[in-house]
Amino acid sequence: MLLKELTRLAGVSGDEGEVRAFIKEQAAPHCDEITVDSMGSVLCLKRAKGGSDRTVMVAAHMDEVGFMVQYVRDDGLIRYLTVGGIDPAVCVSKRVLVGKKRVPGVIGCKAVHLQERDERTRALKHSQLFIDIGARDKADALSRVSVGDYIHFDSEYVEFGRGLVKSRALDDRVGCAVMLELMRRDFPVDVVYAFNTQEEVGLRGAKTTAFRAQPDCALVLEGTTANDTVGARVHEEICSVGAGPAISFMDRASIANPQLFERLRALAKERGIPWQLKRGATGGNDAGSIQRARGGCATTAISVPCRYIHSPASVCNLEDVENQFRLVAAFLEEGGKY
């Protein structure tokens, strides 16, 4: 799969151009039609060889969380805005790249020996952090960056341990990688592969792709929070890295179609595909927009568990990615029926 290549591309919400260009290039040999809508989302249609009266949408989002230059101080330090949900606790001392020129910088804060007592015992807020690009002053900084420039974490893809990978943007380049692999296969149903924009800031791109595609049902491929680490109680774990893709029954944006949900669980058991329930109803994903498009659409999400999500060092298991692929392929092989 193309996961490593995808995670190297910059794609903060609203600035998905690099990811979009790569996906169009990779999809072109395998799909019948490729269109880009006004939101910048990519729709790749692959028709069934013998024709089909059903259309299944398989969706993932191209964007990742990041930052944007808000203003530059007189001393050349940059104040930033967050784009998507980022815990400030994961930001201090992390490397970033600013703008199209990828100007290197570091997220900094006031020195610890200058902090007040309460500042040393809790995570600092984003308003207390800044980005240092090594500028002499404001003019020097503005010669290299501009207000409104996008900023993303500077973090390499690294495989380690027993089948694990560390990278930024696993949410949701894992879903994009699986979709690019799926479209290499033929299925007895028309499939629209929707690579959506701006999921991290309100499930925005999925609203237009689902409205346009009008699918009979949709599977949303995601990277989701795995809270299977030290200090988490069993009921707080949500899902576990290495236990298979997590099938969602509900979150804050949508409730899975019961028949589709049950069919996916049964199919995983029939095919011997490792899987797990997403044991929590937190967060949300593009299913929330797709479910309500036009006259409505049956949806559910199949997610790869990721530790330390929305950080420069998210971690997932490559077997979970492979089994996400296997489960979706099995569903499409049966014509997307449920």
Bond from prior residue into 171 cis (ω within 30 degrees of 0): no
CA angle 240, 244, 246 (to 5 degrees): 70
Determine the residue type at 104.
Answer: P
Adjacent-strand bridge partners of 193: 44, 58
| Residue with tokens 């495989």, as numbered in its chain | 159
* Of 33, 12, 8, 37, the residue nearest 22 (C-alpha): 8
The DSSP H or E segment spanning 223 is strand 217-225
Residues 334, 52, 285, 323, Cα dihedral to 10°: 30
Distances in Å between the Cα of 215 and the Cα atoms of 62, 151, 255 are: 20, 35, 17
* Of 258, 267, 212, the residue nearest 57 (C-alpha): 212
Provide Rg for the chain, Cα atoms: 21
Query: Cα separation of 166 and 175, whole Å?
Result: 16
Question: Would you list the DSSP string of 168-210?
Answer: S-HHHHHHHHHHHHHTTS--SSEEEEEEES-GGGTSHHHHHHH
* Of 182, 177, 175, the residue nearest 332 (C-alpha): 182
Beta carbons of 69 and 146 less than 8 angstroms apart: yes
Q: Which two tokens stand for residue 42?
A: 């990519």
**Is 199 in the active site?**
yes
Please identify which of the residues 16, 64, 181, 199 carries the catalytic annotation. Answer: 199
Query: Cα separation of 250 and 243, whole Å?
Result: 19
Q: Which two tokens stand for residue 327?
A: 């489960």
Query: Cα separation of 158 and 108, whole Å?
Result: 24
Query: Cα separation of 332 and 41, whole Å?
Result: 22
Kindly list the catalytic residues. 199
